[in-house]
Structure 1
Amino acid sequence: MSELAIDARDDSEERPIKPAIMNGMRLKCPRCGEGKLLHSYLKVNDECSNCGLDLSHQRADDGPAYLTILIVGHLMGFALHIAWVTWRPEPWVMALSMSVIAVVGALAILPVMKGLIVGYQWAKRMHGF
């Protein structure tokens, strides 16, 4: 199939949002759901190894970081309140434990949010897709 035929097929192809976002959050290609989206912690592959989708034009910028802060911040607010009301730990214990939980949570969620943004951008034909 020629490159022109691939581009024409891609323009008329329907791109449902939910599967694209779910594939992105699984760190898989938003189109096929098989190829790996990232080749390191936050670096997006240039193309899907399974279907050949060009991923080089994606631009997530600060979106994943904002979503991560939003989610981790809200969860930490509840965790701080519950921990303080239930156990009344020493301030240094509370600060140390909650800091570790916040950092680990943010590092775990950040790639997932990057996949979410890339999947959404692909489904909405944004930023070069």
Structure 2
Amino acid sequence: MDEHDKVDWAWVFKSGWKGLCPRCGTGHMFKSWLKISDRCEVCGLDYRFASPDDGPAFFSLTFVAFPLLFFIVWLQVAHEVPVPLLVAIAIPLMSLGCLLPLRPIKGWLVASQFVNRSLEAGTGKLWADMHAREDEKQEGKPKR
């Protein structure tokens, strides 16, 4: 791994964690909790390239929910916690544990897509045509 790759990955994690624009590092990536902005208010980066889809939920479940589930099961087996107390511990722990990392993970995925210029193979022209039609609708006049 060369120095360029290290800088890119550090930048991906920093901008994703803080929800900052992956290009300028100043603008906001999100307009609400998990809703990505249309454009960066500082540099104008168009976020239509971003499609993290179910990635944040997958990573949250994989790296947070499964370990927490194992902890809850261990707690029950090792200490024989009464079921109502176990439920009172497990539900908030699992809810917060799975919901809180969603935004940083989504930011990380969007920043990663930007840094790596991620695009599904063979869809470059399709995306360009689709975005051109969207831009025409917004402006109210066709581009020729």
The TM-score bracket by the shorter chain reads 0.7 to 0.9
Match of 2:59 in 1: 67
What is the identity percentage for the equivalent residue pairs of Structure 1 and Structure 2? 28
Superposed CA RMSD in Å reads 2.2
Normalised by the length of structure 1, the TM-score is 0.76
Q: Which of 14-23 and 119-128 deviates more?
A: 14-23
- Structure 1 gap segments, 5+ residues each: 1-13
Normalised by the length of structure 2, the TM-score is 0.69
Secondary structure of 2:48's aligned partner: coil
Q: Structure 1 residue runs of 4+, over 2 Å off? A: 81-88
Counterpart residue identity of residue 110, structure 2: V
- Structure 2 gap segments, 5+ residues each: 120-126, 128-144
Counterpart residue identity of residue 101, structure 2: I
- Greater relative contact order, per chain length (Cα 8 Å cut-off, separation 6+): 1
Counterpart residue identity of residue 95, structure 1: V
Alignment deviations for residues 80-123 of structure 1 (CA, whole Å, 9 cap, x no partner): 25533664320121123211111112111111111011011111
Q: Distance in 2 between matches of 1:32 and 1:43?
A: 19
Paired residues in the alignment total: 115
Q: Distance in 2 between matches of 1:27 and 1:47?
A: 13
Counterpart residue identity of residue 92, structure 1: P
Q: Which of 77-86 and 44-53 deviates more?
A: 77-86
Alignment deviations for residues 31-87 of structure 1 (CA, whole Å, 9 cap, x no partner): 222111100111111111122211122111011110011122233035325533664
Match of 2:43 in 1: 51
Instruction: Please say if residues 24 and 42 of structure 2, whose CA atoms lie closer than 8 Å, have aligned partners that are also in contact.
Output: yes
Larger Rg: 2
Match of 2:139 in 1: none
